[in-house]
Structure 1
Amino acid sequence: MAEHHSHHLVYGTLNDYLTGEELVDTDDERIRQGLSKLMVEERGYRKEELQPRLSIETLFTRHFVTSVIDLTVRLEDRQFMIIRYGPGSLVSRERSAIAAARVLNPTYQIPLAVVTNGQDALLLDTASGKTIGEGLAAIPDRQAALDMLPSLLFLPFVDEEKRQREKRILNAFDLERCCLGI
């Protein structure tokens, strides 16, 4: 397990629900584990359809940022939804989740993004940036996702300049200012 430097209260370690990997046990990680359990035990996804902790690395204005995507959901060999967790306000996290869904996959934009604080959630359409569902119940279960899959847009990113702008947005939103002494 990697050394952990943070201002978060650390309880020790826990094993990841999906992979069994040993992780630092914090309040935030417990909520992330609860989201994984929700997706498997209540929403019907298979563990192997959920990819935890994928990341996007960006470097702009001398700020290197690793943006972590808490869960990426795959069906029929396509990533169709990401889930990003963060405490507090969901509205302040919408734009970075959309940017992450637009650039995580190098071949196409992932069509759906979810932002959640563990108590509430917003389901976002990546192409339009619009909210299409509210509340944890808005996160589609496996069957609903399979039903909607044929109508989802898996748009290629043809403009590299726009892709770079999305990465810049992600970098700015995910920069941890609290730990930089700013």
Structure 2
Amino acid sequence: MHESSLGGTLRDYLSGEEIDETTFEEFRQLLVKLLVEEKGYPKDRFKAKVPLSYCVDGEDYERPIDFVLYDEQGKPIFIILFCAGDVGTFERETVCAGRLIKGGPVPYALITDTMDASLMDVMTGDVFARSMAAVPDYADLLKMVTKAKVEPLSDEQREKQTRVFHTYCGFIYGTCCSESCSLPPMPPKK
């Protein structure tokens, strides 16, 4: 199922601004509220819909990352992607995003549909834990991040990861089946 506009607005939990109401936006809002109010994440360290810009064959593209958590120095340490569908089918895309995010790679990434989740080790690509119970408290995440060994990507690694990521994005964003879908087509970035 593609994300569709519901024609209304809702108040964004992080910014307090009115944003478009879509078939999935309420789930994203509940997810970030859970992370802040129940898991202890600092609200001011999250950014929503962070663009991940990349280039394939001379064309620039952009894909929004649902949530990025930054440390005190402004370095990304955790990304969260929402998916509608089997969480496992989005794991590789999520790892690629964690490796390619500006300022990254991040040590850990989460893919969730808000009922299930996979916590991913971005450097190895392994599933660290599964289920919503696998979502770490903020204090636990900080301990994990401190122990994580994160290496920057070589140019060759970045190119390979970009192509894999683009393949997933092209599949998701390039196959809309109706005009009601609110996912924008993935045109080259201007």
Range into which the TM-score falls when normalised by the shorter chain: 0.7 to 0.9
Gap regions ≥5 residues in structure 2: 179-190
- Pairwise CA distance, 1:130: 0.4
Picking from 110, 121, 127, the partner of 1:125 is 121
**Which stretch has the larger CA shift, 89-98 or 172-181?**
172-181
How many residue pairs were aligned? 174
TM-score, normalised by the number of residues in structure 1: 0.86
Q: Does 1:147 align with 2:133?
A: no
Does the 8 Å CA contact 2:39/2:138 hold for their aligned counterparts? yes
Matches within 5 A, 1:94-173: 94-106=91-103, 108-157=104-153, 159-173=154-168
What secondary structure does 2:24 align onto? helix
Identity level (%): 29
Residue of structure 2 equivalent to 1:58? 54
Does the 8 Å CA contact 2:3/2:24 hold for their aligned counterparts? no
Give the Cα–Cα distance (whole angstroms) in 2 for the partners of residues 43 and 133 of structure 1.
16
RMSD of aligned residue pairs (Cα, Å): 2.1
- Pairwise CA distance, 1:113: 0.9
Letter in 1 for 2:131: G
What secondary structure does 1:169 align onto? helix
Letter in 2 for 1:94: E
Letter in 1 for 2:156: E
Does the 8 Å CA contact 2:51/2:63 hold for their aligned counterparts? yes
Give the Cα–Cα distance (whole angstroms) in 2 for the partners of residues 165 and 97 of structure 1.
15
Distance 1:7 1:136, change over 3 A: closer
Does the 8 Å CA contact 1:69/1:83 hold for their aligned counterparts? yes
Give the Cα–Cα distance (whole angstroms) in 2 for the partners of residues 7 and 134 of structure 1.
25
* 1:64-123 per-position Cα deviation (integer Å, ceiling 9, x unaligned): 6421111111234232111000101111111111111001034x4111011101111000
Higher relative contact order (CA 8 A, sep 6+): 2
Q: Does 1:177 align with 2:156?
A: no
Distance 1:48 1:180, change over 3 A: same
Gap regions ≥5 residues in structure 1: 1-5
Distance 1:28 1:129, change over 3 A: same
What secondary structure does 2:97 align onto? helix
Letter in 1 for 2:164: I
